[in-house]
Amino acid sequence: MRNFREHLLASGSTIKQALVQLDVLAKDAILFIIDEEEKLIGALTDGDVRRGLIKGINIEDTVNSIIQGNPKFIRRGERDINKVIEYREGNFRILPVIDKENHVVNVINFREIRSYLPVDAVIMAGGRGQRLQPLTDTTPKPLLKVGDKAIMEHNVNRLALYGIDDFWFSVKYLGEQIESHFGNGKKKNIHIEYVWESEPLGTIGAVSKIENFEHEYVLVMNSDLLTNLDYEHFYIDFIKQDADFAVVTIPYQVNIPYAVLETTAREVKSFKEKPTYTYYSNGGIYLMKKEVLKYLPKNTHFNTTDLMEKLIQENKKVVSYPLLGYWLDIGKHEDFEKAQIDIKNIKF
């Protein structure tokens, strides 16, 4: 993945300098012109240069005379994903991302990513992985390889594919290996910070340690999942539901091989012949408004199910998002072996 700064060019640069940079970008040839504070002031393409040369501009002149002064952009943290979709479907392939003060903080390329979601992602990666011993005796479970990548790397790459670029990793057991593996995320054009648990804090307790989320929405997920979840659809559904908290749920069907009777006392009221019941289990992926995190106790063992119960008691809207795609919790050796087979056939 290209470093986004390759698309930036300082105001006052010459057209010749721009041509050199555009040539390096090849099929991604577009530059975003920034001032000395790195605020966006314009865009420049090969076409702009050609039109300028036809008009008699010299290649030693500055780019300021030929730039597009009102470029399309995405505002960081903007809730309305429809604008992103509109740009994507309108064939705007490469767009700058600017903050509230108009500083360019990223450049997204829809050839490389599918969306740009205004979400912080927290990946819970501190567990011991006892059921996968001895594999986890010297390697943390999130770094066990499925195919050619670590389990956790599949998840990070999938989230980044949907434009999530602010990550928090909650780590404890052999966390140094995870930090060494991912670093600060710069190689993936993302930003990673680490939350260290001195003692186990449950499936969401460590999130109480984070006070500087970038966005108004937070996604929390277990690190040992393998899934092809469409995160954009998950986010859109969350907004449409006007939810405070959403949990990805996995449908399970139970087939009863006998007729099931519905009775009052001993009187049969009705029956169903060999019915099939569908139940939904917790998929370990959650999307929530940042404001609900105020219900997390500080530095206390607390599970996501505890938070869900608390939110329901507070009359907050907790919704289910049934997953129709692929999902696997890699908790046991047989799950790990299944993942090695599935990864060759699942479309991600």
Q: What is the DSSP code string of 195-206?
A: EE-SS--TTTGG
Each residue's pLDDT tens digit, 205-260:
999 999 999 999 999 999 999 999 999 999 999 999 999 999 999 988 888 888 88
The total of structural domains in the chain comes to 2
72: confidence class by pLDDT, cuts 50, 70, 90: very high
- Residue 282 included in any domain: yes
CB 133 within 8 A of CB 199: no
Residue scoring higher pLDDT (288 or 272)? 288
Residue 134 has pLDDT above 80, yes or no: yes
**pLDDT attached to residue 267:** 85
* 347 occurs within a structural domain: no
Residue type, 206: A
Task: Identify which has the larger pLDDT, 228 or 272.
Answer: 228
pLDDT at 3: 85
User: Residue 348 has what pLDDT?
Assistant: 73
The answer to the question of residue 348 being in a domain is no
Range of the domain at 192: 119-342
pLDDT tens, position by position, 77-123: 888 899 899 999 998 999 999 999 999 999 999 999 999 999 999 99
- 285, 258 Cβ separation under 8 angstroms: no
Whether residues 22 and 91 share a domain: the answer is: yes
In a domain, 114, yes or no: no
Are both 136 and 228 inside the same structural domain?
A: yes
Please report the pLDDT score of residue 257 as a whole number: 86
**Averaged over 147-155, what is the pLDDT?**
96
Share of the chain above pLDDT 90, in %: 82
Q: Tell me: the pLDDT tens digits for 165-201?
A: 999 999 999 999 999 999 999 989 899 999 999 888 9
pLDDT of residue 274: 84
